[in-house]
């Protein structure tokens, strides 16, 4: 098990990967607080994501939450399988409270049964779809949520 | 009618406002192609919004589409009424095709009956909610869509 775990990218590697591959994440000041197969937590300061009300722009919040879901899949699939392509198919985001400081987003653990079905479908068909839930938070208090459907395709 | 129309902000004024008030829009390279009460069209280049697949990052696409809906309300309400606060309540975004060049987003005209009900509720209660639809496009071809619920509150 430890041999497999060393394949998982570190927190710093994931952050460098996001900033290099999705440069708007660097402009948003996204930091990777945690990135393991059990969950991903990203954080971004208010300033680069501020809106006309001095709170986090809803578009930034959606973008960071989409990144978190994507990162969870990236970490989990990198750890266990071949190269894969992760594409967002649809998202629903609800905003429950304004965030007037740093935003944190944290993935909810996928249901184990759904995850098992997802990975078996991916192996069998080379393509599968899964829903990932992400909470939006400020100082540990929930401020909204995202539910995103991601499609994963194994690279040829 | 022309006296009222001169109150509407120009395309350049809207762009300057967005870049100043929501600075991530400047980092995304968002340009205002059109901003009138009949519709808003925004455009952003691929480079600052690129992802690991060399297509537009879904988070950037969602953010630009949210901005477009917000801008339509800003333009329409600025033109006719007192200062108001526009808050996004929830969004549903679907991604139908990858965008491997500049992204354009264009608002769908709100249903006149729904708009009329919205403005009457806003006048009566000082707060009202409306759904705005936005198409995601590349070179005039539809690549996805957003439906966003915005809540508007008149400033005290």
What is the value of pTM for the model shown?
A: 0.93
Does the CB of A45 have a partner CB in chain B at under 8 Å?
A: no
The boundaries of the domain holding residue A17 are 2-154
Average pLDDT, chain A: 92
B18: domain CATH number is: 3.10.129.10
- A49 neighbourhood in chain B, CB within 8 Å: 24
Taking the CA of residue A148 and the nearest CA in chain B, the distance in Å comes to 9
Task: Name the residue among B28, B51, B90 with its Cβ closest to that of A93.
Answer: B90
- ipTM of the complex as predicted: 0.93
Cβ of residue A27 closer than 8 Å to a chain B Cβ: yes
Q: What is the pLDDT of residue A58?
A: 98
pLDDT at A5 over 70: no
pLDDT number for residue B80: 57
Tens of pLDDT, residue by residue over A9-55, are: 789 999 999 999 999 999 999 999 999 999 999 999 999 999 999 99
Higher model confidence: residue A74 or residue A4?
A74
Report pLDDT for B2. Answer: 42
Residue with tokens 């600052």: B48
All residues of chain A having their beta carbon less than 8 Å from the beta carbon of residue B68 are none
Q: Which of A21, A67, A87 sits opposite B59 (nearest CB)?
A: A67
Predicted local confidence at residue A2, as pLDDT: 42
Give yes or no for B90 touching A (CB within 8 A). Answer: yes
Provide, as residue numbers in chain A, all residues whose Cβ is less than 8 Å from the Cβ of B57: 22, 24, 63, 66
Q: Domain total for chain A?
A: 1
Q: What is the per-residue pLDDT for A111?
A: 94
For chain B, what is the mean pLDDT? 92
Interval A78-103: pLDDT, tens: 765 567 899 999 999 999 999 999 99
């Amino acid at each position: 098990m430890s041999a497999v775990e060393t394949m998982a990218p570190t927190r710093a590697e994931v952050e460098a990967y996001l900033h290099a591959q999705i440069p708007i994440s660097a402009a948003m000041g996204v930091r990777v607080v945690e990135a393991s197969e059990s969950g991903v937590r990203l954080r971004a300061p208010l300033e680069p994501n501020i809106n006309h009300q001095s709170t986090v722009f809803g578009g930034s919040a959606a973008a960071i939450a989409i990144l978190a879901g994507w990162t969870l899949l990236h970490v989990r699939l990198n750890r266990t399988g071949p190269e894969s392509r992760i594409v967002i198919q649809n998202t629903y985001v609800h905003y429950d409270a304004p965030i007037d400081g740093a935003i944190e987003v944290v993935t909810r653990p996928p249901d184990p049964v759904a995850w098992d079905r997802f990975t078996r479908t991916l192996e069998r068909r080379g393509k599968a779809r899964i829903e990932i839930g992400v909470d939006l938070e400020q100082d540990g208090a929930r401020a909204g949520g995202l539910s995103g459907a991601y499609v994963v395709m194994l690279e040829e």
